[in-house]
């Protein structure tokens, strides 16, 4: 339950940050930013599993 809640919360945070960042920045740097956010998001997901499932 905690894992599921953590995943939903983390995904929601990622979606919000990515959405607002994509909307605010006009130049193509936003793609590089999205790559960075995505890397942080997936790393967070694997860390979450590592600490809550193991």
Partner 1 sequence: MGSRMPGSADIYSYSIYLTAGLVPWIAFSNTIARSTSVFLDKRHLISKIKLSLPALIIYIILSETITFIITMMLFFVFLFCTGSHFKKNILLIPFVYYLQQLFAFGFGLLTATLTVFIRDLREIVGIILQLWFWFTPIVYLRLILPDVVSSIMQYNPAYVIIESYHNIFLFNKDPNYGALIVMTILIHGMIFISYKVFRALEKDVRDFL
Residues 32-51 within binding reach of partner 1 (CB under 8 A): 32, 35-36, 38-39, 42-43, 45-47, 49-50
**Which phi and psi angles does 11 have, rounded to 5°?**
-65, -40
Please pick, from the candidates 7, 18, 21, 30, the single residue that binds partner 1 as defined by CB under 8 A.
7
What CA–CA distances, in Å, run from 20 to 3, 14, 24, 26, 52?
A: 26, 10, 6, 11, 29
Q: Using CB under 8 A as the criterion, which residues of the chain lie in contact with partner 1 when the complex forms?
A: 3-4, 7, 28, 31-32, 35-36, 38-39, 42-43, 45-47, 49-50, 52-54
């Amino acid at each position: 339950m905690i894992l599921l809640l953590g995943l939903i919360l983390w995904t929601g945070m990622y979606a919000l940050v990515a959405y607002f960042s994509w909307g605010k920045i006009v130049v193509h740097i936003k793609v590089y930013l999205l790559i960075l956010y995505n890397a942080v998001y997936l790393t967070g997901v694997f860390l979450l599993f590592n600490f809550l499932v193991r």
